[in-house]
Each structure stands twice: as C-alpha cells, then as structure tokens.
Amino acid sequence: MLKLQSMKKILITGGAGFIGSCFVRQTLQKHPDYQVINLDALTYAGNLETLADIEQNPRYRFVQGDIGDKNLVDKLFAEGLDYVINFAAESHVDRSISGPEIFVRTNVLGTQNLLEAVRKYWLPSAAPASLAERKYLQVSTDEVYGSLGQDGYFTEETPLQPNSPYSASKAGADLLVRAYFHTFGLPLLTTRCSNNYGPCQFPEKLLPLMISQALANQPLPVYGDGRNVRDWLHVSDHCAALDLVLHQGTPGEVYNIGGHNEKENIYLVRLVLRELQKPETLIHFVQDRPGHDRRYAIDATKMSRCFGWQPRYTFEQGIQETIQWYIQNQSWVDSVKSGAYQKYSAKGKENYGKL
C-alpha cells in the first residue's frame, strides 16, 4: 500500500450530504491511492451518521467548515490538492422560496471562494503538465435550464433559464465556473444532473418524504395536480458518472447526466403506496409550489458518447431497493431529522482552525 504522503488528494465538499456521501464512499473504494478530505459545514442536510462506517479509514479526513471561509479553504489548498469536487450547496427548492439569501451565499459566493483558491494555488506555480492533472468539478443541476414543455430534452446547449432562487443560484455558480475557465484557463468542469434517488437522502425531498409519511400513515402532500415530471437517476449512477468526468472530462466542458426515467410525481407517489401496501386515501393534493417547473428531461448522449457511461440501475430495481432501504433504516431517518448523531459523535471530526 502507498504511503499517505505519496497519495493523490481529493477535496470533496458537501461530502456529508446525500450525493456527496455516496461519492466519498465510492472514491475510497475505487481509488485506493487517494486520500479523501471531506469539507462540510454540517448544515441540517449534512450528517456524519451517513459516513459512520468509514470514519476510522486512515485515507479519510473530515473537516467541518464552510466553503465560503477563505482562511480554511486556503489552508486546505495549501496542503496540495489534485482534485476538487464541489457538492456543497443549499439544495432544496422549497427552502429557497422561503429564504433565498443563504442560497446565494453558499451556492454562488461559496463556489466563487473555491474558484479563487483554484486560481491562487493551481495557476501561478503549476507547470502545464501538473495543471493538466488537476481538476475541479462543479456539481450542478438540470434545474438551471428551466422548464420543458411536453416534448424535448435539455442538452448542454440549452439556454439557462432558472426559475427558482435555488436554480438561479446554481446557474450563477455555473456561469462563474465558465468565466474562470475562459478568463484564467483553469481546469474546470461542470456536470448537470437530473433528480437523484437512493439511500441517505434527507427526508424533505419527494421520495424519502413520501416513504416516511406513508410509513407513519400520515398525509402525502402532492403539489398542484401531481403531473409535474422529473427524470430519476440512482445516486450511485450519478456518482459513477462524476468519477468519469472528473478523470476524463475536457476542461471548460459541461456534461448532462440523466437516466431517461421521466415520471409524473403522482406516479411515483402511487408506486410508494403500492410497495408499502398503504391506501391511496393518504394522498393529499395541496397548493402548488410557486414557480413550479413542469417537466425536466435530460439528453445524456454526450456522457455515453465521450465515456461510454450508462446507468446501471433500472428505475424499477432502484426504486424498490430504495424503498426497502428506508423501511430498514428508519432510525437513520429519525436521527438525521433530529440531528442527534452530530451531538454525540466527535469521532472523525476535525476543527481545522485549531491545528
């Protein structure tokens, strides 16, 4: 086994969240020669319990902190990073409607702070060869493209037309990545993925919320007529795609990621009830989300053309496994809702400021 000092270093921000935690685990498994640093602020959405099984891995370090904290980000970059992948974000559309400010702070200014560090630490000293080996990947979303009518798909050329404060903040970050690539020639990549599902998603998002409500025989709140369409992809398929883009992507490029699993919300909600053998009378149609995008659908042909990427999960298998996971892990759901784990787990937690 390689010594820690000679391993590659990857900074994963937002690694205590839903998708980031999957990527942390996948990276440790897939790249035995990598050291992983997980920088996460542990907002309500970040939970160390999700990563409890890898806390003691010598190739893994957790640093609690904000991507917008210049001193902290500088210290991490000064250690010498080979790869950076930015998952850290405020990610829930409904929260962006009730309180947009934190979305701009984290998603736009936080990203800009990371990009500044890339500029400061990777540009001046880097010989062209070493710069080519370094990569920064911005994990973005299909929501930056806005809403589709009944037909068509989002391609990488679709104009950005974000409709919520969340998607506007993600689009703002995407444009900064674009500008820092064009202006400074930095090795920056962007991906835009459709709706993810899978284990360890905070139970405010559609699927885990509906499962939780149904298990508790509580009403399932369906917005509007329930016929808005989302394009679903298993989180591990998303993470496999991100690994390919990070290692093989061309700087300056955008890559769309999606599963061609377009479903109306009401279809998914009924599927959950059927799987759990609960009655449809639990469905409650409630007031629509303001500015609710009608339909998302991703054209991911660039991913398959460039890297041969294809999702491994079928929708049916992935959803069934996911529902089973939530049934078997209700203590995880209770724990992340209450934030209990954070309070008693100090293991693997590093306060960088004190080092």
Catalytic residues: 142-143, 166
**Per rule CB under 6 A, is residue 88 in the interface with ligand NAD?**
yes
**Per rule CB under 6 A, is residue 175 in the interface with ligand DAU?**
no
Among 9, 10, 28, 66, interactor with ligand NAD by CB under 6 A: 66
The amino acid that residue 7 corresponds to is M
Integer Cα distance of 344 and 355 in angstroms: 22
Residue with the shortest CB distance to ligand NAD: 17
**Per rule CB under 6 A, is residue 228 in the interface with ligand NAD?**
no
Angle value at C-alpha 200, between 350 and 241, nearest 5 degrees:
90
The amino acid that residue 139 corresponds to is V
Among 27, 38, 96, 106, interactor with ligand NAD by CB under 6 A: 106
Q: Which stretch, 80-88, 201-209, 312-320, 328-336, contacts ligand DAU (CB under 6 A)?
A: 201-209
- DSSP letters of 261-296? -EEEHHHHHHHHHHHHT--GGGEEEEPPPTT---B-
- Nearer of residues 81 and 139 to ligand NAD, judged by Cβ: 139
Find tokens 């980031």 and name the residue. Answer: 20
Q: Which spans in 79-127 are helix H? A: 93-98, 101-103, 111-122
**Per rule CB under 6 A, is residue 64 in the interface with ligand NAD?**
no
Among 40, 142, 174, 243, interactor with ligand DAU by CB under 6 A: 142
Angle value at C-alpha 20, between 17 and 26, nearest 5 degrees:
135
Binding partner selected for residue 25 from ligand DAU, ligand NAD, none, CB under the kind-specific 5 to 8 Å limit: none
Integer Cα distance of 224 and 303 in angstroms: 33
**Per rule CB under 6 A, is residue 110 in the interface with ligand NAD?**
yes
Among 10, 36, 63, 89, interactor with ligand NAD by CB under 6 A: 89
Least separation, in Å, of the C-beta of 142 and ligand NAD?
Answer: 7
Integer Cα distance of 336 and 202 in angstroms: 7
Among 13, 21, 27, 91, interactor with ligand DAU by CB under 6 A: 91
Binding partner selected for residue 289 from ligand DAU, ligand NAD, none, CB under the kind-specific 5 to 8 Å limit: ligand DAU
**Per rule CB under 6 A, is residue 91 in the interface with ligand NAD?**
yes
| β-pair partners for 231 | 262
According to DSSP, the β-strands at 8-13 and 349-350 are unpaired
The two tokens of residue 281 are: 């009378």
How large is the angle between the packed helices 330-338 and 206-215, nearest 10 degrees? Answer: 110
Count CB atoms within 10 A of the CB of residue 78: 11
| 251-280 footprint of ligand DAU as x/- string (CB under 6 A) | --------------x---------------
- Nearer of residues 87 and 154 to ligand NAD, judged by Cβ: 87
Integer Cα distance of 254 and 245 in angstroms: 9
Cβ neighbors of 281 (< 8 A, separation 6 or more) are none
Cβ atoms of residues 260 and 300 within 8 Å: yes
**Per rule CB under 6 A, is residue 86 in the interface with ligand DAU?**
no
Binding partner selected for residue 212 from ligand NAD, ligand DAU, none, CB under the kind-specific 5 to 8 Å limit: none
Among 22, 118, 139, 222, interactor with ligand DAU by CB under 6 A: 222
- Nearer of residues 282 and 293 to ligand NAD, judged by Cβ: 293
- Nearer of residues 213 and 342 to ligand NAD, judged by Cβ: 342
Residues that bind ligand NAD (CB under 6 A): 13-14, 16-20, 39-43, 45-46, 66-68, 87-89, 91, 106, 110, 139, 141, 170, 193, 195-196, 202
